[in-house]
Structure 1
Amino acid sequence: MEKKLKLTVQYATNIADIPTRQQFRRWIKAALMQAAEITLRIVDESEGCDLNYHFRGKNSATNVLTFVYDDTQPLSGDIVLCTAIIEQEAQQQHKNLTAHYAHLTVHGVLHLQGYDHQNDTEAAIMEQLETEIITKLGYDNPYKEQ
């Protein structure tokens, strides 16, 4: 059964090497287990830092932020991806940039659906799901040593 997805993608950065709306849609649908309305916002480091500080009290940008809106049906929320951090991580970890975007998009979608990594058990479950989804999409296991 097809999971209905209403997706809005906002590009709020001047970075050129960003996946297309179609790529993001494919990755999100691969991780969705229910109908959803998602806004995906691609931001620069300044906006990423502002959001992370405002919502999490951390004075730095992070790769992905997820905002869930109550227990609405369909599932509703926002995912924010920070281009500068994602590019830095891909370079430092010797990962393909597109594959890293796919992984972090899937990671954000799993957070929207209630998955977390606050302890070792939760982290193991979430990592296993991410690995299954990412490898089905044709990318390498994001957690294997490079």
Structure 2
Amino acid sequence: MKLSLTLQQDFQAPELVLKRAYIKKTVETALRYIGTQSDCEIGIACVGHEESHKLNLEYRKKDKPTNVLSFPSDLPDEMAEILDVFPIGDLVICIPVVLQEAAEQQKTPIEHFTHMLVHGALHLMGYDHETSDEDAEEMEALEIQILKKLGFENPYTVKED
């Protein structure tokens, strides 16, 4: 499985320097972990509050910015056999929200950004935490294992002062 990545960085922050190779490795690790074998392509946009707010309102009817939005490809799975590279969809990650949440959760910016990448990639592959408790537990368990493989601790563990 190879991943083709389109990266758009409309918002950058000095405390979170993002390298294309790191982002690609993170998403590839998540996709391989869940058994993806087809070559895939993904688009990732790193945006500010305004763009995230606008998209969250338009597509989810929520009047605020959010950490990550996922827009899965609407191509049928059967197309994966026909196409050389299957588009899995797009992620929009709001860097200011990720930075704020990282601080609140006592995580490093890269730790939380990586979690949001993995979380978003799983959403693109059909995983959902909002439909049932069982689905949420399955998705969280996958996130924990993938992040462990990437060298990060369980993102759902509350850190003590």
TM-score range, shorter chain: over 0.9
Give the match's secondary structure for 1:143: coil
Tell whether 2:156 aligns with 1:143.
yes
CA deviations over 1:27-57 (Å, ceiling 9, x no partner): 1001112432100000001111011011111
Q: How far apart, in 2, do the equivalents of 1:140 and 1:76 lie?
A: 27
Aligned residues: 144
Task: Report if the CA contact (8 A) 2:56-2:62 is conserved.
Answer: yes
Give the aligned partner of residue 42 of structure 2.
Answer: 38
Deviating above 6 A after TM superposition, structure 1's stretches of 4 or more consecutive aligned residues are: none
Tell whether 2:95 aligns with 1:108.
no
Structure whose alpha-carbon radius of gyration is higher: 2
Structure 1: segments with no counterpart, 5+ residues? none
Q: Please, what is the CA RMSD of the aligned residues?
A: 1.1
Q: How far apart, in 2, do the equivalents of 1:56 and 1:44 lie?
A: 17
Give the match's secondary structure for 1:65: strand
Give the aligned partner of residue 15 of structure 1.
Answer: 13
Structure 2: segments with no counterpart, 5+ residues? 81-85
Q: How far apart, in 1, do the equivalents of 2:17 and 2:112 lie?
A: 11
Task: Report if the CA contact (8 A) 2:65-2:97 is conserved.
Answer: yes
Report the Cα offset of residue 13 of structure 1.
Answer: 1.1
TM-score (norm 1): 0.94
TM-score (norm 2): 0.85
Aligned-residue sequence identity (percent) comes to 40
